[in-house]
Amino acid sequence: MSQVDALHRAARALLKRPLVRSSEPDEFRLVRAQLAELRSWFDANTGWRLHADADVIRLHKEPATTDDGTHPARDPRNRTPFGRRRYVLFCFCLAALERADAQIPLGRLAEQVLLLARGPAMADAGVEFTLSGRDQKADLVAVVHLLLHWGVLARVAGDEEEYLRGTGDVLYDVARRVLAQLLVARRGPSTVAAEAFEERIAALGAVEAPDSDEATNRRIRHRLTRRLLDDPILYFEELDAAEAEYLRSQRPAIVRRITELTGLVAEVRAEGIAMVDLEDDLSDVSLPEPGTTGHLTLLLAEHLARPGAHEHHLEDLHGLTRELAARHRTFWRKGASEPGAEVALTEAALERLAALRLIERRGERVRALPALARFAVAEPDLPPPPSAPVAASLFGEGGDA
């Protein structure tokens, strides 16, 4: 393998999984061999810090924007997205594990989380956690499964289902070096004094104001490169004046550097830029995808992309899904045509389209974004049928083939 190919593979491995453990020897050795080049590239082009020790390699990816909720954390078992309570439990679990011994039972972790959850701040936030029902225990188990997936915890004995049934417990090893690298923030959350949620999020990644033109350009370059690496599509209308001007002059250099490192290919249109992955494995959401939801997503994309109607009401899309479920009931999963099933099916399909930056949700309205036009199906423009004499001549004098 050439040095260029090795760097390309290492960068892609790190972008797919920004936290690589020594227990994943192939990826760990691959990335570790290219550490110097990767660290230099990410520092210059994104401002992301790359940490490496004997147990873990961590790319500290900071988002270009903090208002995109289309890629939530998910339970690794069933891909259900985290809600507010699961995110709160996740933070409590990290705090409890920071103070824990090298091993901890799930029951003990739950007790520590309960202690942290008591207090007026939780009540004021409207989040309740008492472990009084299976649904609350299931939320805790979903958080634990994510920590297992990331390698913060390693199961030693037991099973989470036994804990949910109240018939047993689970014992875990705690990987402290992985835990220490999990949080990506420029300052500790406990040091943030702001009260509004948006202000607190912004403060976690706040950096000093640039003091020169060079520093200003570097910060813009970081933001643009982060978006081109992380977002399916960068729309020009979302940029401020300084970003738009910088991109107009530096776009060839920015996309060339990304292509050389990752193999992503820039598709530039009047509305924006999409970095296309010809290897098709860097995105957490794909289109098309197999299965009922994947098929529905394509059909809704085709419908939403039709010219002339830029906004669609959610109730109309529910009705369309009902019609499609009846039409494809032989092929779609069981229950897809049951009354009320269209709501969850439509929501799942729209979530995928929003995550791919193909639509925008505004309350009960769905707006098609420019890149969705690629899914529009036009009537075929066929030439008129040939006249009878010409048709006959295709088969010779007597019409035999």
Mean predicted confidence (pLDDT) in 369-374: 90
- pLDDT of 54 reads 93
Tokens representing residue 272 in the block: 């924006």
Last residue of a domain, one of 219, 243, 276: 276
Place of tokens 């295709």: 394
Distance CA 330, CA 311 (A): 31
Domain-located, residue 155: yes
Domain-located, residue 223: yes
Last residue of a domain, one of 243, 276, 309: 276
**3 state DSSP class of 81:** strand
Domain-located, residue 388: no
Distance CA 249, CA 251 (A): 6
**pTM score of the predicted model:** 0.85
In tens, the pLDDT along 96-149 reads 999 999 999 999 999 999 998 887 767 777 778 888 888 889 999 999 999 999
Cα distances from 129 to residues 132, 137, 363, 368, in angstroms, run 8, 9, 29, 39
Domain-located, residue 75: no
Strands, E assignment, 236-321: 265-268, 272-276, 311-313
The domain that holds 172 is classified in CATH as 1.10.10
Same domain as 262, residue 315: no
Same domain as 229, residue 316: no
Same domain as 272, residue 295: no
pLDDT bin (cut points 50, 70, 90) of residue 274 is very high
51 strand-pairing partners: 58
Same domain as 172, residue 104: yes
Tokens representing residue 115 in the block: 């202690």
| Backbone angles phi and psi of 273, in degrees to 5 | -130, 135
- What percent helix, strand, coil does the chain show, rounded to 5? 50, 15, 35
Q: For CA atoms 296, 288, 64, 193, give the dihedral sign.
A: positive
In tens, the pLDDT along 300-323 reads 999 999 887 778 999 999 999 999
- pLDDT of 400 reads 36
Domain-located, residue 283: no
Domain-located, residue 285: no
The domain that holds 338 is classified in CATH as 1.10.10.10
Task: Write out the residue range of the structural domain in which residue 118 sits.
Answer: 84-180
What average pLDDT is seen over the chain?
Answer: 88
- Comparing 238-242, 246-250, 262-266, 285-289, the range with the smallest average pLDDT is 285-289
In tens, the pLDDT along 33-83 reads 999 999 999 999 999 999 999 999 999 998 888 888 888 999 999 889 999
State how many domains the chain has.
4
Q: What percent of the chain has pLDDT over 70?
A: 93
> Does residue 234 surpass a pLDDT of 70?
yes
- pLDDT of 281 reads 84
Tokens representing residue 320 in the block: 């369309």
Mean predicted confidence (pLDDT) in 258-286: 90
- pLDDT of 68 reads 83
Same domain as 343, residue 270: no
Query: Could you tell me the maximum CA-CA distance found in the chain, to the nearest angstrom?
Result: 94
Same domain as 227, residue 174: no
> Does residue 401 surpass a pLDDT of 50?
no
Give the DSSP letter string of 261-281.
HH--EEEE-SSEEEEE-TT--
**3 state DSSP class of 367:** strand
